[in-house]
Chain A
Amino acid sequence: MLMIDCPWCGRRDQSEFSCKGEAHIARPVDPFALSDKEWGDYIYTRSNPKGEHAERWLHSQGCRRWFNALRNTVSDEFIVTYKPGEARPDTSAAASAEVSP
């Protein structure tokens, strides 16, 4: 059972949250300027990485606010949570420091 840091409420039990899929997929400004393939990518294609994944979470049993999180899909660890509209945090420096020789 994970512990998740809601950017508004603080650390809470996973049972208060719902995962809402990949983050940073902006709705196209003009959907009709897109080909079927491009629109299909927007609604269907997701990255599904092994490792660090940016995803949306909803504090559904708490403040009911949405936020983003970087989670490691292998270890299930939450690396950082941040508010919608904020850029995806760069963890490359921290990650390379953790790599053991």
Chain B
Amino acid sequence: MSQRYRLAGAGRVDRSSPLSFEFNGKQYQGYRGDTLSSALLANGVHLIGRSFKYHRPRGIMASGWEDPNAQVQLESGGHTLPNTQATVTELYPHLRATSQNCWPSVEHDVGAVNSALSRFFVAGFYYKTFKWPRKAWEPLYERVIRRAAGMGKAPAEEDPDRYEHQYAHCEVLVVGGGVAGLAAARAAADSGVRVMLLDEQNEYGGALLGSSGESIDGMDALDWVASTVAALRENPKVTLLTRTQASGYYDYNYLVATERVTDHVGPQPTADQPRQRLWKIRAQQVVLACGAIERPQVFADNDRPGILLASAIRHYQHRYGVLPGKALVVLTNNDSAYHTAIDAAAAGVHATVVDVRPAEDIGAADRARKAGVVVLENSAITGVDYRVKRGIRSVAVHRLSPDGESLVGGAMHIDCDLIGTSGGWSPTVHLHTQARGKLHWLDEHLCYVPAQLGGNSNPRRSAGGCNGALGLAEALAQGHAAGSDAARDCGATTASVSAPAAQSNDFTLGKIRPLWVLPCEHPVGMGKKKHFHEYQNDATVADVQLAHREGFSSIEHLKRYTNTGRGTDQGKLTNVNGIALMAQARRQNVPDVGFTTFRPPYTPLAFGAVIGQNTHDTFIPARPTAMHPWHVEHGAVFEDVGDWKRPWYFPHSGESMHDAVQRECKAVRASVGVLDASTLGKIDISGPDAVRLLEMVYTNAWQKLAIGQCRYGVMCNEHGMVFDDGVTTRLGEQHFHMTTTSGGAARVLEWLEEWLQTEWPDWQVFCTSVTEQWAVVSLNGPRARDVLAKLTDIDLDEESFGFMRMREGQVAGVEARIFRISFTGDLAYEINVPARYGRYVWEQVMEAGAEFDITPYGTEAMHVLRAERGFIITGQDTDGTVTPMDLDMDWIVSKKKPDCLGKRSWTRSDTAREGRKQLVGLLTQDPEEVLPEGAHIVSKVLPKPPMEMLGHVTSSYYSPNAVHNGSTGRSIAMALLKDGFARLGDTVDLALIDGRHVRAKVVKPNFLEEAGDA
């Protein structure tokens, strides 16, 4: 029969909108307004999945985010969402969901064999098992055990949905739209400040949606909710967001919340709305009104499907008109759960309360008995008769000894098909603790509540259930006060609206009894029954005791040893039980064992929401040069250098990368090549103290550099290590043009500014980035002068325009600066023109060079060409541990200068010692063997690692121009080698990662001369 647990006329679902949906391949009916869990319960489906470790059948326990078990795989393909909580998934037409953690089906699960092996799966199992032998790791542990114990499946296809981020600011942010939150928002809004009110549900009301019989300000409580929300909607300074979960609370009142914009309508790839929107909210004041979560009792086999939180049963009854049983037993240690039994009895269900307290402590018994509820005091459930196919059939109940630790007399069996459990309430303090708030243990309520305000960088208040106020009147009063106080602290005038008044005869806790585990016939951990204190990670009371025996008795150790609170539910139901059980094992009071830290997110976030629009083309900004379109048109393959897009090589049709690079390298040395060098970092330096700055940041001397002259320099940090290099040119008496590596431009500018602003603030120097102002065409090769001569009237002969000189003039009619500097060792001109002329001048150069077979080349050929001459690339041939002397560049260190950055460090004992790694060239014995970069040079080849390492290869290429036995073309490499300079001429061994060994001769890194090969 369809929906046989749906009550006639009850609940807030829309009976005129029936919806069909599919769970594990079977069709069911529900209504609009249902969640997946309420619709399943209406159809009598309790069994949702299998547990993580033991593969025990598990069902719906709660009605919100706190549920540890009811997780499904929602939909399929790119839209699929694993670990989706059925309790918060709104039903939409043709929803499809499947169970997780089971194979081949949830009823017949092969993995349940784990349960039979449970003595091997105790706490700490992973830590104890996943050690040696390492060979077993991948094939056995990972594949078999992980697979059997997996959660949902990650999507294999790309997510077709759109997600977006939104920033927001407000004076008062209220998290939670139950009575306390509504009262707070109402009070704050009335003072005229900007208010945001967030609620995770699709409608406001919080716990009121799952109760009945209360009224506020003389009207039905839910009518008060509706009129309050309507009034807030009228206020233009109020932002109301439903289906929005605040999941992270960061410093200075910065909160992150996920709005599920279209999840409730199902997969709609063409929707103009995003699937989810991630809100980043900065608030002056925050009011937390997150409510409280009921705690289950820990008793024998307390994880069976059909065992729900008592409050969840009542919630399903009133909100969805679903009461998923015909005979109910409620197990409790406090008064609040009596509502569930009373309301169920009113709906015609046979209801029994098993109360662990003695009769004199029970405040609700009389009203319950009058409503037809059977009340058994001083008793406990000691067993659950459950079958996968038929569900719960009965419970065993015993009377408790006065101390609650043992049983008296024989078992009584009560037939039932639904169990409610209540062990008290846990205020939802997660966001409070994320905001660095401390907690305070209330012994009379057995719960943690927020302590006094911690730190003043997160001004906030807690109100209502999350502050320990479980009754309606108290929650309203706290919410109202928090809202008006928060507004007042933002500078608003006091609210004129008065506090709402509640009329309620609801029970709260009464006199709660702390019995953290209920006994059964066998001691805990013996016999077949299990006492779960944590469901999602299958941790039992016996595991807590084991952890304690093995010395893991700190609460932080317990968390990691048993995984308590580490699932996707973050232990919302169960944390306090775990802590209390450890306190019991340690014979201490609960607050003495401490509390583990809650970390964001409070509820799981979809990766899509975190990523937002930062994907595909909008993942990261791309920096194209002025010539970029030409490169695209001419088939360049691009390389990312920082954010820059640089041509890597320009393949002719059908040409491999290797062939293209060899051709480009040959062409440069044979005739002329052209490189887009626009990405080179460029800094304009001017001012009376410009020379003084250069003298300090470079290792060489700059005083005497003439105007129009260029000089190469390396920069070191104060540790004396090289971090960047480039050519700087004197443009005027107090004016310089500095170049840096393409990737180092921002870092060098920041370095100059750091010293100028923090150490030498009286120096008068301006540093201005001009990287993007200049496009650079770098002409290289013996015919470079012939090409340039066709385009400029500048006299290019050696006398008037020598090496390391700069001339200004026109190139192709465009004002240009030409630098005669070279990164290939060949004749070269770097033509700098204003960026907007970059493409034009490039094209003019290509046209002028046509008769010389001018060849555009990319960064790969640039690397090969510079290595042929032994020129370094900082960051590749250096790594932050290399001095100029280690690079055989003593010539660039001024002996006369009194000081420069890093200079003092070169005489430190470690920097000056023998045996440092030094940069050398390597020639492999087999000239066709190209060494992998990073390959290790070893002192002696052994059959297997470890071997003593002498250094590593920093650059390695096949060079078509390197000279070898009278012909050209061979492998070349550069390496950092211990005592490298003393080993010139030696042969060294390299151990490659594929197990091969290669021998190479140590040489000076200049591969264009035969001498190197001697």
Is B one of A's binding partners?
A: yes
Instruction: Please report A residues at the B interface, Cβ cutoff 8 Å.
Output: 1-3, 13, 20, 26-27, 30-32, 34, 36, 39-40, 42-43, 56, 58, 60, 64-66, 75-78, 84-85
**Can you show 15 pairs from A to B with CB atoms below 8 A apart?**
A1-B254, A2-B252, A2-B457, A3-B252, A30-B899, A32-B898, A36-B908, A39-B904, A39-B905, A42-B718, A58-B750, A66-B758, A77-B455, A84-B761, A85-B761
Are B750 and A27 closer than 8 Å at their CB atoms? no
Q: Which residue of A lies closest to B901 (CB)?
A: A27
**What's the Cα separation between A2 and B250 when bound, in Å?**
8
Instruction: Confirm or deny: B909 has a beta carbon within 8 angstroms of a beta carbon on chain A.
Output: yes
Are B908 and A76 closer than 8 Å at their CB atoms? no
Are B757 and A31 closer than 8 Å at their CB atoms? no
Shortest C-beta distance, A52 to chain B (Å), equals 14
Q: Which residue of B lies closest to A23 (CB)?
A: B758
State which of B455, B753, B899, B908 has its C-beta within 8 Å of the C-beta of A40: B908
**What's the Cα separation between A2 and B750 when bound, in Å?**
23
Interface residue count for B (Cβ, 8 Å)?
A: 26
**What's the Cα separation between A1 and B250 when bound, in Å?**
6
Are B251 and A31 closer than 8 Å at their CB atoms? no
Shortest C-beta distance, A6 to chain B (Å), equals 13
Are A1 and B251 closer than 8 Å at their CB atoms? yes
**What's the Cα separation between A77 and B457 when bound, in Å?**
6
Shortest C-beta distance, A40 to chain B (Å), equals 7
Are A66 and B754 closer than 8 Å at their CB atoms? yes
CB proximity to A under 8 Å, residues B727-775: 750, 753-754, 757-759, 761
Shortest C-beta distance, A53 to chain B (Å), equals 15
Are B904 and A75 closer than 8 Å at their CB atoms? no
Question: Given contacts A31-B903, A58-B750, A75-B457, is CB(A39)–CB(B252) below 8 Å?
Answer: no
Are A76 and B251 closer than 8 Å at their CB atoms? yes
Instruction: Confirm or deny: B436 has a beta carbon within 8 angstroms of a beta carbon on chain A.
Output: yes
Question: Given contacts A43-B905, A84-B758, is CB(A64)–CB(B251) below 8 Å?
Answer: no
Are A75 and B436 closer than 8 Å at their CB atoms? yes
Chain B residues within an 8 Å CB radius of A30: 899
| Chain B 1-36 interface 0/1 with A at a Cβ cutoff of 8 Å (1 = within) | 000000000000000000000000000000000000
Instruction: Confirm or deny: B498 has a beta carbon within 8 angstroms of a beta carbon on chain A.
Output: no
Are A56 and B251 closer than 8 Å at their CB atoms? no
Are B750 and A43 closer than 8 Å at their CB atoms? no
Shortest C-beta distance, B833 to chain A (Å), equals 27
Chain A residues within an 8 Å CB radius of B750: 58, 60
Question: Given contacts A31-B903, A75-B455, is CB(A66)–CB(B254) below 8 Å?
Answer: no
Are A31 and B904 closer than 8 Å at their CB atoms? yes
Instruction: Confirm or deny: B869 has a beta carbon within 8 angstroms of a beta carbon on chain A.
Output: no
Q: Which residue of A lies closest to B760 (CB)?
A: A27
Are B909 and A36 closer than 8 Å at their CB atoms? yes
Question: Given contacts A2-B251, A31-B903, A43-B905, is CB(A76)–CB(B457) below 8 Å?
Answer: yes
**What's the Cα separation between A42 and B908 when bound, in Å?**
13
Are A43 and B754 closer than 8 Å at their CB atoms? no
CB proximity to A under 8 Å, residues B891-932: 898-899, 903-905, 907-909
**What's the Cα separation between A26 and B718 when bound, in Å?**
13
**A36-B907, A43-B905, A66-B754 provided; 16 other pairs, C-beta below 8 A?**
A1-B252, A2-B457, A3-B252, A3-B282, A13-B282, A27-B759, A39-B904, A42-B718, A43-B718, A60-B750, A66-B753, A75-B455, A77-B456, A78-B457, A84-B757, A85-B761
CB proximity to A under 8 Å, residues B562-576: none
Q: Which residue of B lies closest to A98 (CB)?
A: B456
| Chain B 479-501 interface 0/1 with A at a Cβ cutoff of 8 Å (1 = within) | 00000000000000000000000
Top 7 A-B residue pairs of the complex, sorted by shortest distance between their CB atoms: A31-B904, A1-B254, A3-B252, A66-B757, A77-B457, A75-B455, A1-B250
Chain A residues within an 8 Å CB radius of B908: 36, 39-40
Shortest C-beta distance, B1011 to chain A (Å), equals 39
**What's the Cα separation between A27 and B436 when bound, in Å?**
38
Instruction: Confirm or deny: B560 has a beta carbon within 8 angstroms of a beta carbon on chain A.
Output: no
Instruction: Confirm or deny: B529 has a beta carbon within 8 angstroms of a beta carbon on chain A.
Output: no
Instruction: Confirm or deny: B719 has a beta carbon within 8 angstroms of a beta carbon on chain A.
Output: yes
Q: Which residue of B lies closest to A18 (CB)?
A: B750
Shortest C-beta distance, A47 to chain B (Å), equals 17
Shortest C-beta distance, A84 to chain B (Å), equals 5
Chain A residues within an 8 Å CB radius of B436: 75
**What's the Cα separation between A77 and B436 when bound, in Å?**
11
Shortest C-beta distance, B766 to chain A (Å), equals 13
Chain A residues within an 8 Å CB radius of B909: 36
Chain B residues within an 8 Å CB radius of A3: 252, 282
**What's the Cα separation between A92 and B985 when bound, in Å?**
66
**What's the Cα separation between A31 and B507 when bound, in Å?**
76
Chain A residues within an 8 Å CB radius of B758: 56, 66, 84
Shortest C-beta distance, A20 to chain B (Å), equals 7
Shortest C-beta distance, A78 to chain B (Å), equals 8
Chain A residues within an 8 Å CB radius of B250: 1
**What's the Cα separation between A42 and B720 when bound, in Å?**
13
Shortest C-beta distance, B485 to chain A (Å), equals 21
**What's the Cα separation between A19 and B567 when bound, in Å?**
34
| Chain B 353-377 interface 0/1 with A at a Cβ cutoff of 8 Å (1 = within) | 0000000000000000000000000
Shortest C-beta distance, A64 to chain B (Å), equals 7
Chain B residues within an 8 Å CB radius of A39: 904-905, 908
Are A20 and B759 closer than 8 Å at their CB atoms? no
Chain B residues within an 8 Å CB radius of A27: 718, 759
Chain A residues within an 8 Å CB radius of B899: 30-32
**What's the Cα separation between A76 and B456 when bound, in Å?**
11
**What's the Cα separation between A76 and B455 when bound, in Å?**
9
Chain A residues within an 8 Å CB radius of B753: 64, 66
**What's the Cα separation between A34 and B908 when bound, in Å?**
11
**What's the Cα separation between A78 and B754 when bound, in Å?**
22
**What's the Cα separation between A16 and B325 when bound, in Å?**
57
Shortest C-beta distance, A37 to chain B (Å), equals 10
Shortest C-beta distance, B771 to chain A (Å), equals 15
Q: Which residue of A lies closest to B456 (CB)?
A: A77
Chain A residues within an 8 Å CB radius of B761: 84-85
Q: Which residue of B lies closest to A36 (CB)?
A: B908
Chain B residues within an 8 Å CB radius of A43: 718-719, 905
Shortest C-beta distance, B731 to chain A (Å), equals 23
Shortest C-beta distance, A44 to chain B (Å), equals 8
**What's the Cα separation between A64 and B899 when bound, in Å?**
27
Chain B residues within an 8 Å CB radius of A31: 899, 903-904
**What's the Cα separation between A87 and B953 when bound, in Å?**
49
Shortest C-beta distance, B687 to chain A (Å), equals 17
Are B904 and A32 closer than 8 Å at their CB atoms? yes
Shortest C-beta distance, B882 to chain A (Å), equals 17
Chain B residues within an 8 Å CB radius of A32: 898-899, 904
Shortest C-beta distance, B23 to chain A (Å), equals 40
**What's the Cα separation between A76 and B436 when bound, in Å?**
10
**What's the Cα separation between A56 and B282 when bound, in Å?**
25
Shortest C-beta distance, A100 to chain B (Å), equals 10
**What's the Cα separation between A58 and B909 when bound, in Å?**
33
Question: Given contacts A31-B904, A39-B904, is CB(A20)–CB(B252) below 8 Å?
Answer: no
**What's the Cα separation between A71 and B38 when bound, in Å?**
50
**What's the Cα separation between A43 and B718 when bound, in Å?**
7
Chain A residues within an 8 Å CB radius of B898: 32
Shortest C-beta distance, A94 to chain B (Å), equals 12
Q: Which residue of B lies closest to A30 (CB)?
A: B899
CB proximity to A under 8 Å, residues B441-491: 455-457
**What's the Cα separation between A8 and B852 when bound, in Å?**
56
**What's the Cα separation between A3 and B860 when bound, in Å?**
44
**What's the Cα separation between A8 and B757 when bound, in Å?**
14
From B251, B754, B758, name the one whose CB has the most chain A CB atoms within 10 angstroms: B758
**What's the Cα separation between A94 and B908 when bound, in Å?**
43
**What's the Cα separation between A76 and B899 when bound, in Å?**
38
**What's the Cα separation between A21 and B486 when bound, in Å?**
36
Chain B residues within an 8 Å CB radius of A2: 251-252, 457
Chain A residues within an 8 Å CB radius of B457: 2, 75-78
Q: Which residue of A lies closest to B280 (CB)?
A: A1
Chain B residues within an 8 Å CB radius of A20: 754
Question: Given contacts A75-B455, A77-B456, is CB(A34)–CB(B754) below 8 Å?
Answer: no
